[in-house]
Structure 1
Amino acid sequence: MDVVAAAEPSSGMVGHVQLADAPGTGALPIAEAVDILIGHGYAGPIGCEYVPGGRTADTLGWVDQ
């Protein structure tokens, strides 16, 4: 599924966003999809599903991106 293309037409109807990627791949363009939603006025919650590959505190370096 093209996440960015899917986010564009439905952005005005979204009430909650839940994001997840296949563990370890980082393949989804999550930042682009979020930028589109925000650009269309989305100001609701964004849930980020995360499965750590070790101790949680040691694997959160990606959060600041």
Structure 2
Amino acid sequence: MYHQSSGIYRKLTYTDALFVLSDRCGLTWRQLSSSVGIHPTTAEELVKLHITKSSGLDPKVTGC
């Protein structure tokens, strides 16, 4: 992600991008400070969760 500052584009760090996006979305400091950051790889695994304990299915990953 790039941001224009004084006519110069610079590459944003993840932290910079977080603050730019939170500002543009109207996120408050209270909301930001009460959130938890997770690594993108971990986020991908959370999105793929669909097996419940009660289903009885094996939760082991068999492929990529």
> Quick check: TM above 0.5?
no
Alignment TM-score, normalising by the size of structure 2: 0.24
